Amino acid sequence: MSEDWDTLVLLDACRYDTFSDVSTLNGNLQSVQSKGSWSWEFMEENFEGRDLHDTVYVTANPYAEDLSHDIFHTIESVLSEWKDDLGTVLPADVTQAAIEASETYPNKRLIVHYMQPHQPWIGPTADAICERAEVSGWMHNRVEGDHGRGEFGLVRDGVISHDEMEQAYQESLEITLDHVQQLLDTVPGRSVVTADHAELLGERIIPLTRRRYGHPMNLKCKTLRRVPWLEIPSETRRDVSPDPPVESTMTLESREDRLTALGYLDD
């Protein structure tokens, strides 16, 4: 929060290496270590207990419901756009909400939290796998294992190949970055694109021997904390000032269902 930006884009579960390979965003890219290896840890370490009244948090992540409601000037939730058939919020809806927030709060910093490339993945490869596995938006096929999610269980069972997993993950990121570009083209100011945490895609984490997937809550390793930090300079800056918090739109009646769909909770 002490870095110099007007808009901070958070990609959920985004690996530095994949971002570096596919991103076409112009800027200065480096890798940094996140303070969290899963979403709530990231939020707790960066936001809780702080006075961030010069910032509006636009988010599609259900864990934002757990934040103290006086941290930011306000939290603009995009969870009303949740797609039950997909088990997530699409990046187009997050971009639209962020653009509207920038117009409503022109003198505030913006944090814009997309859910992708966090599973359930989106894109043609994910659609093809979903059809083949006879699951609906990954919602009805859960295999016990890391993170409780069907996608990675299907990888372990050989239903999804390692190459297909990587392709689906990459496509989710590419699709999202197209919408991030739209956001950056529309909202003025200096921007940074980063992630709350990374993702394991079959690495073996010493001293463990089996392959690990996702971002298990109690697994602490540098791989899960290595994220991109892309600085995008701008000659135009927003005139930012703090104001007392206003009522948040963060009201979520089905928080647990949505966290389960994203793989954070077991059924």
Q: What is the CATH number of the domain that holds 94?
A: 3.40.720.10
- pLDDT in the model for residue 217: 83
- What is the number of alpha carbons within 13 Å of residue 197 lying toward its C-beta? 26
* Secondary structure class of 160 (helix, strand, coil): coil
**pLDDT-based confidence at residue 142 (cuts at 50, 70, 90):** very low
Token look-up 């190949």 returns 161
Residue 150 is assigned to a structural domain of this protein: no
Residue 147 is assigned to a structural domain of this protein: no
Query: How wide is the angle at C-alpha 66 spanned by C-alphas 225 and 139, nearest 5°?
Result: 75
Rounded to whole angstroms, the Cα distance separating 19 from 93 reads 21
Mean pLDDT check: name the lowest of 107-116, 203-212, 230-239.
203-212
Residue 68 is assigned to a structural domain of this protein: yes
**pLDDT-based confidence at residue 191 (cuts at 50, 70, 90):** very high
- pLDDT in the model for residue 205: 82
220-247 mean pLDDT:
94
**pLDDT-based confidence at residue 85 (cuts at 50, 70, 90):** confident
**pLDDT-based confidence at residue 254 (cuts at 50, 70, 90):** low
**pLDDT-based confidence at residue 265 (cuts at 50, 70, 90):** low
216-231 mean pLDDT:
90
Is 199's pLDDT higher than 70? yes
Specify the amino acid at residue 239: D
Mean pLDDT check: name the lowest of 10-14, 48-52, 129-133, 187-191.
129-133
Residue 154 is assigned to a structural domain of this protein: no
Residue 56: phi and psi, rounded to 5, are: -110, 130
48-57 mean pLDDT:
97
Is 117's pLDDT higher than 60? yes
Residue 39 is assigned to a structural domain of this protein: yes
- pLDDT in the model for residue 257: 61
- pLDDT in the model for residue 133: 66
- CA–chain centroid gap for 146, Å, is 19
Number of domains into which the chain is organized: 1
- pLDDT in the model for residue 263: 61
Residue 104 is assigned to a structural domain of this protein: yes
Is 111's pLDDT higher than 50? yes
158-169 mean pLDDT:
92
Is 267's pLDDT higher than 90? no
Contact 75, 250 (CB under 8 A): yes
Rounded to whole angstroms, the Cα distance separating 118 from 104 reads 28
- pLDDT in the model for residue 115: 97
Residue 151 is assigned to a structural domain of this protein: no
* First-to-final CA distance of the chain: 35
Rounded to whole angstroms, the Cα distance separating 105 from 101 reads 6
Rounded to whole angstroms, the Cα distance separating 234 from 214 reads 35
Convert 211-244 to b/e letters by CB count within 10 Å (16 or more is b).
Answer: bbbbbbeebebebbbbbbbbbbeeeeebeeeeee
Residue 65 is assigned to a structural domain of this protein: yes
Provide the residue range defining the domain that includes 106: 7-118+171-199+219-261
What mean pLDDT, rounded, does the chain reach?
Answer: 88
- Token digits for 259? 């966290």
Is 145's pLDDT higher than 90? no
Which pTM was predicted?
0.89
Rounded to whole angstroms, the Cα distance separating 137 from 131 reads 9
Q: Which residues, at least 6 apart from 163, have a Cβ–Cβ distance to it below 8 Å?
A: none
